[in-house]
Amino acid sequence: MRTAVCPGSFDPVTKGHLDIIKRASRLFDRVIVVVLQNTSKKNTFTIEERVHFIEESTKDIDNVSVEAFDGLLMDYCRMRNAVAVVKGLRAVTDFEYEFQMSLINKQLNPDIETVFINTAQEYMFLSSSVVREVASFGGDVSQFVPDPISEEITKKLVKGGEKK
């Protein structure tokens, strides 16, 4: 059983993330999506909300499960006997940060490989921050986030709690 971990802050999960998760699920026997703390980001959604959004978006994929973890990604991978970390790579701007992370993670746990999957062209410029910004001004984010959670995300993000 080869387990891969898809880590991220997922604040919130986007169609771009979901595309990577689906593609990882075809490469590995089991994929665990883990919601972690990125210390350089201030989160909008709680851990519980972020886990819930991913669960709703992945419930039709048999070999995918979702968890939250407060700690180092490499400790989590060790705990779950994972063989790989899967991350999506968007435009070149992602590369330096992701490359640095993968090298640090390799130092922390040499047994785990980081596998990069290129983001699909249509999601190249999609990010959680874009979703948050568009929704906060009452814009339609249904094309950016998985269908089952689009309404819930919009309601939670629209300024003042009311859709404009």
Residue 17 is a catalytic residue = yes
- Range in contact with ligand PNS (rule: CB under 6 A) among 1-9, 23-31, 114-122, 130-138: 1-9
The stretch near ligand PNS (CB under 6 A) out of 2-10, 42-50, 52-60, 118-126 is: 2-10
- Cα separation of 105 and 101, whole Å? 6
Return the sign of the alpha-carbon dihedral for residues 85, 68, 22, 141.
negative
Cβ 114 vs Cβ 87: under 8 Å: yes
**Minimum distance of ligand PNS from residue 12's CB (angstroms):** 11
Taking CB under 6 A as the criterion, the residue among 5, 7, 25, 54 binding ligand PNS is 7
Which DSSP helix (H) or strand (E) runs through 117?
A: strand 113-118
Tell me which residue of 49, 34, 13, 37 sits closest to 132, measured CA to CA.
13
Closest to 55 (Cα-Cα) out of 146, 116, 144, 155: 146
Q: Which stretch binds ligand PNS (CB under 6 A): 18-26, 34-42, 56-64, 114-122?
A: 34-42
Query: How near is the Cβ of 148 to ligand PNS at its closest, in Å?
Result: 20
The answer to whether 33 and 58 are in contact (CB under 8 A) is yes
Instruction: Lay out the site mask for ligand PNS across 104-143 (x = CB under 6 A, - = otherwise).
Output: x---------------------------------------
Query: Annotated catalytic residue: which of 22, 23, 30, 90?
Result: 90
Alpha helices in 34-149 (DSSP H): 47-58, 73-79, 93-108, 128-136
For ligand PNS, the closer of residues 41 and 59 by Cβ is 41
In whole angstroms, give the CA distance from residue 68 to residue 35: 5
Q: Is 38 in the site for ligand PNS (CB under 6 A)?
A: yes
**6 versus 135: smaller Cβ distance to ligand PNS:** 6
Q: Does 44 bind ligand PNS (CB under 6 A)?
A: no
Please say if 128 is a catalytic residue.
Answer: yes
